[in-house]
Chains A and B, each alone.
Chain A
Amino acid sequence: MRKFLAILVCKLAALAGRIVGRGSSKPGALALKICPDILSRLVLPETVAAVTGSNGKTSAVELVVKILQDSGKKVCWNREGSNQTEGVATMLLNASTLGGRVKADVIVMESDERYARLTFRYLKPTHFMILNILRDQMTRNGHPEFICGKIADAVSDGMRLIVNADDPLCVLAAGGRETVGFGLEKAAVDGGASGGVYDDGKFCPVCGGEMVYGWRGFGALGDFSCPACGHSRGEPKYRLTAFDAADGTMTVAESGGAETEMTCGIRSLHHAYNMLAAFALCRELGVPAEAVKRSISDYFLTNGRIRCWDQAGRRLVLMTSKHENSVSYNYSLSYAAREGGSVLVIVDAVSRKYFTGETSWLWDIDFDRLAADSVRSVWLAGKYVWDIAQRLEYSAVPPEKVNVLETLDGIRDMLARETGDVYVVTCFSDRDKFLSRLPADAAERREM
């Protein structure tokens, strides 16, 4: 009876939430209050795939779901990206009958790095993909090694582990279990990787010895090995053997299989990495390589992280990076510098989910990328504008390029003054502050 009631309440609460446009975790939270073990009492499909990691979860899940749906599978997934236990409960109960049978062929869930171990107590995935473990929201996440420990606690025997072989912490999280690796090759890295202002890969996370790399990707990712303790990358089954940032073409090789050529809908190595991960997971789920290619080659993500408008003969591009995530920022800054134009950085609310005034993460971002001649001007806005301004004083960006907007409404004037393309780098927490000041004649388009 409690199970029935929990499902019913969740469905009704979710319906009410959709009507008023509210979040996606509350209905699941209510259901868990009524029936705390509701997740373990559901009848699940044979395949349950979970995706975790610091960067790219939402994008990778969207790609996986697209591939599976195009292959004719009915997929239950957390499309809102609400990835803690309550959000997962909302997703499953909404997709289930009142008797508790989840009406899907496959479940694909984005799992929060810290909470996967809790969710998995009730819902153990058959396939678990670990994308990367990087500096991300350290105000709530502690640090990457702490998160590595949390993910390791979520891993258990009987799961098929699909792991980023390039990441020393992902490999560590697997705890020596058999894994299916995916990773880059040097030729692909030459097409788009770059360093940063810190080097988390310099020392082995196991023994502290100095690490040796055949090549480096971004963050600590690369062809790593520790001469002191032997912690090393191994040979990934799925490899990105080529990537060209200029035209977005990429090639994936599968051990014992053919090569698959695809095109990135967003021309960046980060997106190619996500496509590689989606390829690996879907191949492990039995989807033919050609079907994967048909689904995601040239596919433009719909999760709203990157949006583009035509306005007054130029492009306005919104890149929703995560505040407190230097890898995400570096990617956005590199993209803007490569394309060329003006760059607007907005830091007003550090998080939409919790309060913090912490801005140390600005010093982890490689703002030198904005020193490129292709970047005409840099504009700063938001409550923490002076923190960014001070950070830029210690970068290679010429001071004459930097402009401080003391109020958010200054964004309107800036957009009127700048006539070329503008790249806006901000977070979900501040995205609407830009959108509400978008010129009325801006027309959104579906590709970059």
Chain B
Amino acid sequence: MIRMLHLFPNLMNLYGDWGNAAVLAGALERMGASVELVETDNADRVDPRSFDWVFIGAGTERRTAFAARRLADKAGAFAEAAEAGTAMLFTGSACELACRRIEGGDEPLAGLGLFDAVVRRTEERQTGDVLYASDLSDRLCAGFLNKSGFLITEEAPLFRPIFGPGSFEDGHQLDADGEGLARGGVIATYVTGPILVRNPWLKRIVADGIFSRACPGAVPRPYDDGAAEKGWKVTVSELEKRKAAAAGR
């Protein structure tokens, strides 16, 4: 039985984020696994160490602060879970929860500290379509940013922007913009909403990792991602056209 936790499904579900849990559970089931998806807004009722995958979606800045307070005494449990191999996904503003600290809001907030990064909130809001490259695959990640913060970190970025903004503050050691963080099976990205829905290749990577850890020796059944693959191709093609048009101006 693969145990999946969708934490704060109401508090932090700003933009169809629940789709991530839905398509991942669907993929794992089609691969032949039994799946239990637990959804709760009460962080005290669940222990991340008892799950194979933990997910927190995007919220408003205020709701992200509420979530940070509810997680204030959970950093140890999350760190142990990550260390033991529990996969995690933080999307949109939940990316901030995975960092050490959130600064620039009404008051500084402690994060879970899964990454050595500090968030600097900004008055200004950054929104826009994005297209990112990564070392995860030769396929591009399509998505959308809707945020009011930057990451201050010396960690390597998960994504390299091809089109649209990143989320690393200027002056990063790579001297180039980056977006998101990843270590082991833990992914934190400002990309808002159902990133696994819109990028079926990323969903497969996450699903394969969870399946192989939870079902050692089992051979996953192949499954078809027809509509998702076609949707991804259209979106990437449109964003590449946009990039070309911007370069031509």
Contact = CB atoms under 8 A, between A and B. Distances in A.
Interface in B91-118: none
A386 B227 contact: yes
Contacts of A393: 26, 227
Contacts of B231: 359, 384, 386-387, 389-390
Contact of B144 (A146, A203, A358, A363): A358
A215 interface: no
B197 A138 contact: no
Given A357-B239, A386-B227, A393-B227, A138 B60 contact: no
Interface string B136-152: 00000010101010000
A393 B26 CA distance: 10
B14 interface: yes
Interface in B138-187: 142, 144, 146, 148
B66 A208 contact: yes
Nearest to B23: A394
Interface residues of A, number: 35
A363 B234 contact: no
Nearest to A364: B16
A362 B125 CA distance: 23
A398 interface: no
B85 interface: no
B48 interface: no
Interface string A387-399: 1011101100000
**Listed residue (A144, A362, A387) with the most chain B CB atoms within 10 angstroms of its CB:** A387
Contact of B63 (A208, A360, A389): A208
Nearest to A141: B127
A251 B239 CA distance: 50
Contacts of B41: 202-203
Contacts of A145: 60-63
B86 interface: no
Contacts of A202: 10-11, 41
Contacts of A362: 16
A143 B14 contact: yes
A360 B198 contact: yes
A36 interface: no
A142 B227 contact: no
**Listed residue (B62, B69, B228) with the most chain A CB atoms within 10 angstroms of its CB:** B62
A143 B60 contact: yes
Contacts of A360: 15-16, 19, 144, 192-194, 197-198
Interface in A111-168: 135, 138-140, 142-146
Given A198-B18, A203-B63, A357-B238, A390 B125 contact: no
B127 A359 contact: no
Chain B interface extent, by class: 35 or more
A357 B13 contact: no
A428 to B, nearest CB: 19
B242 interface: yes
B134 interface: no
A364 B242 CA distance: 26
Contacts of B238: 357, 383
A138 to B, nearest CB: 6
A384 B242 CA distance: 16
A46 to B, nearest CB: 37
Nearest to A208: B66
A246 interface: no
B221 interface: no
Given A203-B63, A390-B231, A139 B26 contact: no
B218 interface: no
A361 interface: yes
Interface string B9-38: 011011111110011001000000000000
A140 B10 contact: no
A398 to B, nearest CB: 16
Contact of A357 (B19, B23, B129): B129
A160 B1 CA distance: 59
A390 to B, nearest CB: 4
Contacts of A140: 127
B125 A142 contact: yes
Interface string A345-366: 0000000000111111111100
A346 to B, nearest CB: 15
A142 B125 CA distance: 7
Given A139-B144, A140-B127, A390-B197, A198 B13 contact: yes
Contact of A386 (B13, B192, B228): B228
A357 B142 contact: yes
Given A139-B144, A142-B127, A384-B231, A355 B242 contact: yes
A205 interface: yes
B235 interface: yes
B213 interface: no
A232 B69 CA distance: 23
A414 interface: no
B235 A357 contact: yes
Contacts of B235: 357, 359, 384, 387
B22 to A, nearest CB: 5
Given A360-B144, A360-B198, A139 B127 contact: yes
A124 B11 CA distance: 36
Contact of B10 (A144, A199, A358, A387): A199
B16 A361 contact: yes
Contact of A359 (B23, B65, B198, B239): B198
The 3 closest A-B pairs by CB, nearest first: A363-B16, A360-B193, A208-B66
10 contacts: A144-B60, A145-B62, A202-B10, A208-B62, A357-B129, A357-B142, A359-B235, A383-B234, A384-B231, A391-B19
Given A140-B127, A363-B193, A391-B19, 16 more contacts: A135-B14, A144-B60, A198-B13, A199-B10, A208-B65, A357-B129, A357-B142, A357-B238, A360-B16, A360-B192, A363-B17, A363-B194, A384-B231, A384-B235, A387-B231, A389-B227
